[in-house]
Chains A and B, each alone.
Chain A
Amino acid sequence: QITLKESGPTLVKPTQTLTLTCTFSGFSLSTSGVGVGWIRQPPGKALEWLALIYWDDDKRYSPSLKSRLTITKDTSKNQVVLTMTNMDPVDTATYYCARVIVVVPTILFDYWGQGTLVTVSS
């Protein structure tokens, strides 16, 4: 059974750095073709892809947020960490992590965590 769960602060202040952890089970991030991605959703709005990390430690970032994002993995702990710097109220959203399956020429998110709501406010 594959599960993912996001954890981190529910409230951050403007200009602070957000650190979110995705803890997963049922698969390994050392398996070829597997990755973990982060997606967010502001209240009442659409999904927005943020970042993903592959089994080989290759990383991709949303071009609009690249300068603020860092994604890392700890394969032994089955965790992926996303950091986002200089948080702003517009970053208020539910943040999801999801398992990524790579089958060239496409990538899909086949299992999702429940999401965690992060509010940015002073």
Chain B
Amino acid sequence: SYVLTQPPSVSVAPGKTARITCGGNNIGSKSVHWYQQKPGQAPVLVIYYDSDRPSGIPERFSGSNSGNTATLTISRVEAGDEADYYCQVWDSSSDHQVFGTGTKVTVL
């Protein structure tokens, strides 16, 4: 089965840039979606189709995808960005959904 690997945690100072990776075999050939989950809340879609932002998501959130790694970038990090972040793809070979292992972003 397809596996998506994320670093367990990323720490970043306010105003700096956070980069969260999502590793998978040839993930660059798939569309990657990213979800933000704040404590006690449901996940929220923040990036879809690798780099598109839903309405209402700040431009500070961006995404890229190439080779074996997709990346979610949060620029000018704010305290309110502290959350868990998950990547997700559709594995066409099995026709199943796959979520990444999740990354906790801590704002110092």
Interface residues of A (CB under 8 A from B): 37, 39, 46-49, 52, 60, 62-63, 96, 98, 103, 105-110, 112-115
Q: Which of B54-76 contact A (CB under 8 A)?
A: 54
> Size range of the interface on B?
20 to 34
Contact B42 A106 (CB under 8 A): no
Contact B99 A48 (CB under 8 A): yes
Contact A49 B97 (CB under 8 A): yes
Contacts of B92 in A (CB 8 A): 105
- From A52, A96, A112, B97 is in contact (CB under 8 Å) with A52
Contact B42 A108 (CB under 8 A): no
Contacts of A109 in B (CB 8 A): 33, 35, 43, 45, 88
Contacts of A63 in B (CB 8 A): 1, 94, 96
A-B contact pairs, 21 of them (CB 8 A): A46-B86, A46-B99, A46-B100, A46-B101, A47-B37, A47-B86, A49-B98, A63-B1, A63-B96, A96-B43, A103-B49, A105-B30, A105-B92, A107-B90, A108-B31, A108-B33, A108-B88, A109-B45, A109-B88, A110-B45, A113-B42
